């Protein structure tokens, strides 16, 4: 818990340093994918890794900025999971499953 402020500050400063539309797209996508990955175990989701790799190749080929933002987002989300209530995690799992299905990262039968 004592590192939450540091993690939040570093992540916030990283995100705040970007201003262009492309950077906002990169930041939002990294945040969303980071949440999906962080919640994989908590929600009992099994992702199609090839589908995620293909999505990354299509949307962020060779983008190291995305990689850095994704790593920070995963770290922050994993830290926050333990502080959330059961209901908050249930809601987040529902949203994460929907987003993952929409992007083709999981099979339709997943999360029923």
Q: Is the dihedral of CA 55, 59, 61, 62 positive or negative?
A: negative
Residue 111 confidence (pLDDT) above 50: no
Residue 77 confidence (pLDDT) above 90: yes
**Average pLDDT of 66-78?**
92
Mark 31-46 as b/e (b = at least 16 C-beta within 10 Å).
Answer: bbbbbbbbbbebbebe
The answer to whether 80 and 32 are in contact (CB under 8 A) is no
Q: Of 64-68, 73-77, 94-98, which gets the smallest average pLDDT?
A: 64-68
Query: What pLDDT was estimated at residue 11?
Result: 64
**Average pLDDT of 41-68?**
91
CA distance 103 to 55: 8
Closest Cα to residue 39, out of 87, 92, 3? 92
């Amino acid at each position: 818990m004592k590192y939450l402020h540091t993690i939040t500050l570093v992540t916030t400063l990283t995100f705040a340093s970007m201003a262009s539309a492309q950077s906002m797209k990169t930041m939002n996508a990294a945040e969303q994918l980071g949440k999906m990955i962080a919640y994989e175990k908590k929600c009992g989701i099994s992702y199609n890794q090839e589908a995620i790799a293909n999505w990354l190749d299509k949307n962020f080929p060779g983008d190291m900025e995305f990689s850095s933002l994704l790593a920070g987002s995963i770290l922050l989300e994993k830290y926050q999971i333990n502080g959330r209530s059961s209901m908050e995690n249930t809601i987040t799992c529902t949203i994460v499953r929907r987003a993952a299905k929409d992007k083709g990262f999981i099979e339709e039968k997943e999360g029923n």
